[in-house]
Amino acid sequence: MDTLRLSADPARLPDSVRDELTDVDRLRRIWSGHRQAQPRQAREDARRSLLRARIGEAGVGGPLADLLAATLEDGMAGRALTPGYAAELAGLVHSLPDPGPFRSPRAPLGPEHARAVADPAAVPGHPLVRAAHTYTGTLAALTALDGGRERPRLLPWLAAAVVLRRADLPPLPPVHPAASADPGDPPAATVSALARAVTAALRDELSWTPPGTPPPPREPVSPLASVTRRRVMEHLRSHRESVGLILRGLDPGARAVVRSGGSDTGTGADGPSEAGRAVLTPGAAHWWTALELLVDDATLSLVVVVQEIGRPRTGVLAVTVDGRLTTPDGVRDLPGIAAAEGVTVMPTDCVDDRWPRIGDLIDEGVSLALGELTRV
């Protein structure tokens, strides 16, 4: 299948978005092979556990959580998004006593609006493109039905998630990307947001390990992991002097310190808590580099983690950024940083292939850290 065919002009999709679609396809092939090597019960346990976790992370509980789990479970994965099914989903969402943090339709969908939800799901091409068109089409239909956008809507994401499940992609956490102003345009921003969410979901499923599984035997560090962690360390160290100068303008005694360690260096256990919570695969090899900024009585720790994904080893790496600010008032996470914004490195990549994204990820983290400290 030509994964880049689109009912609209494909040339209007930016090259960067096309690259994201290719990356999703590559990671999906690795994920598919990994799942096929697992017993069926293990696959079902992983899907059930991760689906409930994603729903919970969205702040959803009660009847709404049950509806989402029932709609996105494996047994429903082959169901097409027809006008009848779209109307059924809208009716279920409309009838919920509490839609949680979302806005539900004020009225059931009529035949015209149900077709507007279902028709984009038949757009030929990549599943993410179909899902993006479905999202924007559903959002437009609901806005025409009852207007207003004061809260994120549930149905556009749910309809897009159904399209992706039919394509045998994992269930997504709720995402609410900006929709294109022109429904005839390829919704590049929506495709990109869905691609990042799918990538994170694929990484999560590759990383899932049954509770109580003993740590894997230690294996030699791959050349790709070794070079990636070294480049990350050098790049973060390159920020130390310039960041220190800025901070000393606020506090002459301010300091910027870089520390590093990892699971194979004997210092992994002594690393910052951000490094431990960033590890996706329990017991997997990982390496962290922390830029610690100390100003007055505030300390901000920005941690970049390079980690192996999957058990058994898949060759996939993830580079993520996390941060915490400690002040006399307590400890809080650095806002604006999310695991879904990490960079996935494929086994066939070289570091130069991914370095522009990795470097941008680190630079953005440093910028957020400085901004947060100056506000404090």
Q: Is residue 2 part of a domain?
A: no
The pTM (predicted TM-score) of the whole model is 0.86
Q: Is residue 100 part of a domain?
A: yes
End position of a domain, from candidates 183, 207, 231: 207
Q: Is residue 159 located within the same domain as residue 299?
A: no
Last residue of a domain, one of 159, 180, 207: 207
Alpha carbon distance 314, 127 (integer Å): 24
Q: Is the pLDDT of residue 68 over 70?
A: yes
Count of other CB atoms within 10 angstroms of residue 29: 11
Give the model's pLDDT for residue 226: 95
**Same-domain pairing of 259 and 285:** yes
* Region of poorest pLDDT, from 60-64, 84-88, 258-262: 60-64
In a domain, 213, yes or no: no
Q: What is the pLDDT of residue 186?
A: 56
Question: Mean pLDDT lowest for which of 118-127, 130-139, 146-155?
Answer: 146-155
Assess whether pLDDT exceeds 80 at residue 10. Answer: no
Same domain? For 131 and 83 the reply is yes
Distance of alpha carbon 154 from the chain centroid = 18
Q: Which two tokens stand for residue 88?
A: 């059924």
Q: Which two tokens stand for residue 206?
A: 């590759």
DSSP annotation of 151: S
Q: Tell me the CA distances in angstroms from 61 to 58, 205, 299, one per residue in order.
A: 9, 22, 35
13 band by pLDDT with thresholds 50, 70 and 90: confident
pLDDT at 56 over 80: no
In terms of domains, do 85 and 147 share one? Answer: yes
In the chain, the percentage of residues whose pLDDT exceeds 90 is 36
**One domain, residues 278 and 147:** no
Q: State both tokens at 272.
A: 């910052």
In a domain? residue 123: yes
Q: What are the structure tokens assigned to 288, written together?
A: 């962290």
Residues 159 and 230 in one domain: no
Residues 6+ apart with CB under 8 A from 337: 321, 322, 323, 365, 368
172 and 57 within one domain: yes
**pLDDT (average), residues 273-301:** 88
Residues 34-48 pLDDT 10s: 888 888 887 778 888
The residue that leads in pLDDT, 267 or 315, is 315
pLDDT of 108: 73
Alpha-carbon distance of 136 to 74, in angstroms, equals 25
Q: Is 142 exposed, middle or buried (0-12, 13-18, 19+ CB in 10 A)?
A: buried
How confident is the model at residue 178, as a pLDDT? 61
- Does residue 1 lie within any of the structural domains? no
In this prediction, residue 7 carries a pLDDT of 46
CA distance linking residue 61 with residue 3, whole number of Å = 36
The Cα–Cα gap between 360 and 342 comes to: 10
**255 lies in the same domain as 190:** no
The residue out of 207, 234, 255 marking a domain boundary is 207
What pLDDT, on the 0 to 100 scale, is given for residue 4?
40
Instruction: Identify the weakest region by mean pLDDT among 1-5, 76-80, 149-153, 234-238.
Output: 1-5
What confidence score (pLDDT) does residue 8 get? 40
Phi, psi (degrees; rounded to nearest 5) at 289: -130, 125
Residue 252 domain-assigned (yes or no): yes
Residues in the chain: 376
DSSP 147: -
Average pLDDT over residues 268-276: 66
**Residue in 236, 225, 231, 240 with CA at minimum distance from that of residue 362:** 236
Q: What is the DSSP letter of 10?
A: G
First-to-final CA distance of the chain: 53
Q: Are residues 94 and 108 in contact, defined by beta-carbon separation less than 8 angstroms? A: yes
What pLDDT, on a 0 to 100 scale, did the predictor assign at position 181? 46
Mean pLDDT highest for which of 146-160, 302-316, 335-349? Answer: 302-316
Find the range with the poorest average confidence among 130-134, 153-157, 175-179, 300-304: 175-179
Amino acid at 321: V
Average pLDDT over residues 65-71: 80
Question: Among 304, 370, 308, which Cα is nearest to 342's?
Answer: 304
- In degrees, rounded to 5, the angle at the alpha carbon of residue 216 between the alpha carbons of residues 279 and 196 is 35
**197 and 233 share a domain?**
no
Given this model, what pLDDT does residue 1 score?
30
Domain region containing 112 = 10-207
Do 172 and 86 fall within a single domain?
Answer: yes
Specify whether the CB–CB gap between 89 and 71 falls below 8 A. yes
Q: Is residue 19 part of a domain?
A: yes
Q: Is residue 354 part of a domain?
A: yes
Tokens read off for 253 = 């005694």
Residues 198 and 230 in one domain: no
Q: Is the pLDDT of residue 284 over 60?
A: yes
pLDDT on residue 102: 66
Residue 64 has phi, psi (to 5 degrees) of: -65, -45
Do residues 359 and 288 both lie within one domain?
A: yes
- CA distances to 137, 180, 247, 276 from 272, rounded to whole Å, are 44, 41, 21, 7
Domain count, the chain: 2
